[in-house]
Each structure stands twice: as structure tokens, then as C-alpha cells.
């Protein structure tokens, strides 16, 4: 059966489409390069790259060989950003970044652990609201 869940990426066709997207655009590579930038100089760009991992970084959408590494890198870089003076001045922004870190870390799979279905806190299309 080609469909195994209710989300738009929970089927064979979508998984193949995402694979082609990442192969053709080098999106994961571009995100990784941005995440490796110095947050002191590029915290806005790094957070934007982390948001791409946050939105697309799941099994069947992100390249599986990079997924855990990119989830960890994005969370680590957001931790660095959360310690910047201009971020700590805003409790609301700091809380938002902390939530992003928690979500990214919740998706990191440890070797031997069984896969747990990812249920978004909102409908997937409401992530922009």
C-alpha cells in the first residue's frame, strides 16, 4: 500500500517527490552550510535555516542519511542563538526559540529506538499561523 498515514507526506508518491526535490535543489546541503555559520554574525540566517529543518525535517521528507545530524545541528545552533543578548532581551522570542529547540530534539531518533509517529500540535497547514 502506498499510503500509510493521513499527512500529505505519508505516502510513497510524496516520499519520492521529496527525495527528488532534495536531490535537484541541494536544499539540505544549503541548509547545513547556513547552520554552520557563526551565530554572532548570522543568527537571523541560521534561525531561518533551522526553521526549514523544523518544517520539513521528518522521516520521508528530509534525506534520511542527514536527518538526525541536521536536527541536532539546528537545535544546537538555536541553543547558541538563545544565549545572544539581543535574544535574551525578549522573553517572548526566547520562549519561541526554546519551543523550536524542543521540537527539533524530539525528532532525533536514537539507534535501536522504534519509530514514533509524529503528530503535529496543530494541523500541518496551520504552522504558519
Indicate whether 38 belongs to any domain: yes
Range of the domain at 63: 12-110
Q: Is 101 helix (H, G, I), strand (E, B) or coil?
A: helix
In tens digits, the chain (129 residues) has pLDDT values of: 578 888 888 999 999 999 999 999 999 999 999 999 999 999 999 999 999 999 999 988 999 999 999 999 999 999 999 999 999 999 999 999 999 999 999 999 887 665 555 555 566 656 655
Number of domains in the chain: 1
Q: Give the H or E element holding residue 102.
A: helix 91-106
Contact 78/47 with Cβ under 8 angstroms?
yes
Indicate whether 42 belongs to any domain: yes
DSSP letters, 26-52, are -HHHHHHHHHTS-HHHHHHHHHHHHHH
Indicate whether 63 belongs to any domain: yes
pTM: 0.86
Amino acid at each position: 500500500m502506498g499510503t500509510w498515514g493521513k499527512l500529505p507526506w505519508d505516502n510513497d508518491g510524496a516520499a519520492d517527490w521529496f527525495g527528488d526535490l532534495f536531490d535537484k535543489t541541494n536544499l539540505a546541503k544549503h541548509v547545513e552550510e547556513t547552520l554552520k555559520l557563526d551565530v554572532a554574525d548570522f543568527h537571523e540566517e541560521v534561525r531561518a535555516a533551522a526553521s526549514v529543518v523544523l518544517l520539513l525535517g521528518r522521516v520521508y521528507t528530509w534525506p534520511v542519511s542527514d536527518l538526525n545530524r541536521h536536527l541536532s545541528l539546528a537545535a544546537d545552533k538555536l541553543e547558541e542563538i538563545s544565549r545572544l543578548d539581543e535574544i535574551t532581551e525578549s522573553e517572548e522570542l526566547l520562549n519561541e526559540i526554546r519551543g523550536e529547540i524542543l521540537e527539533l530534539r524530539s525528532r532525533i531518533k536514537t539507534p535501536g529506538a522504534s519509530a514514533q509517529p509524529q503528530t503535529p500540535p496543530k494541523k500541518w497547514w496551520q504552522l504558519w499561523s
